[in-house]
Amino acid sequence: MANYSTNEFKGGLKVMLDGDPCTIVENEFVKPGKGQAFNRVKLRNLITGRVWERTFKSGESLEGADVLELEMEYLYTDGDMWHFMKTDGSFEQYAVEKKALGDTEKWLKEQVPYTVTLWNDNAIAVSPPNFIELEVVETDPGLKGDTAQGGSKPATLSSGAVVRVPLFINQGEVLKVDTRSGEYVSRA
């Protein structure tokens, strides 16, 4: 992979740091009145999801990371691995470990496209679409007549996620949910 110098660090650039692939979140040029210039860089570790703040001397460089983000449909799980398939017509499949799946496990639904991050052709992270439609498999019975405001209750969705929903929602209904906040949006 190519090397990138601090002045090429832009949001979204993928680089290697301490042996892990990272994406650049923010790059701030810092320079005292008369003195050495530095770049203060925020990077997200693509494996752990943690954000690191590091300082580099201006002009230093990092090795680029062979990272691709591809759209893939979720197929099934065999209990050990979760299987996804590219949506580009190649039918190529990737098996994803539980560790790489992370929180996305509770938002899985067959045939929905997810963004799978590949590093050296291995899946290291999966992110769900911002909004997803899922069926309520368990919740307290809906309160008749209460269609407006007031109160909420937990509902378990077909993917396993538990979200707070309005009291009028019933088992069997399909809901639109924001996966970033884990909040109910509307009936689908």
Partner 1 sequence: MASDWQPTATLETLRERARLLAEVRAFFAGRGVLEVETPVLGHGGSTDVHLASLCTEATTPAGRERLWLQTSPEFHMKRLLAAGSGPIFQLARSFRDGEVGRRHNVEFTMLEWYRPGFALDELIEETAELIRAVLGRDPGPLRRRRYRELFREALGRDPFTAPLAELQRLAGDAGGLEMSDASRDDCLDLLMSLTIEPTLGRGGLDVVVDYPASQAALARRHRDPEDGAWVASRFEVYLAGLELANGYDELTDAGEQRARFAEDNAARRRLGLPEVDVDERLLTALAHGMPAGSGVALGIDRLVQLALGRADVAEVMAFATPRC
Residues that bind partner 1 (CB under 8 A): 7, 27-38, 40, 52-59
Relative to beta strand 51-57, strand 38-45 is antiparallel
Least distance (Å) from partner 1 to the CB of residue 71? Answer: 24
Nearest to 134 by CA among 158, 111, 114: 158
Of 32 and 145, CB closest to partner 1: 32
Beta bridge partners of 31: none
Under 8 Å CB-to-CB from 31, ≥6 apart: which residues?
A: 37, 38, 58
Of 35 and 145, CB closest to partner 1: 35
Of 54 and 187, CB closest to partner 1: 54
Least distance (Å) from partner 1 to the CB of residue 139? Answer: 45
Of 31 and 98, CB closest to partner 1: 31
Distance from C-alpha of 45 to C-alpha of 49, rounded to nearest angstrom: 5
The C-alpha R_g of the chain, in whole angstroms, comes to 21
- Residue owning tokens 């320079």: 31
Of 10 and 176, CB closest to partner 1: 10
Quick check: 127 and 121 in contact, CB under 8 A?
Answer: no
Least distance (Å) from partner 1 to the CB of residue 151? Answer: 41
Distance from C-alpha of 124 to C-alpha of 101, rounded to nearest angstrom: 8
Tell me which amino acid residue 126 is. Answer: V
Least distance (Å) from partner 1 to the CB of residue 86? Answer: 29
Q: How far is CA 136 from CA 105, 111, 145, 165, in A?
A: 17, 18, 20, 10
Least distance (Å) from partner 1 to the CB of residue 56? Answer: 7
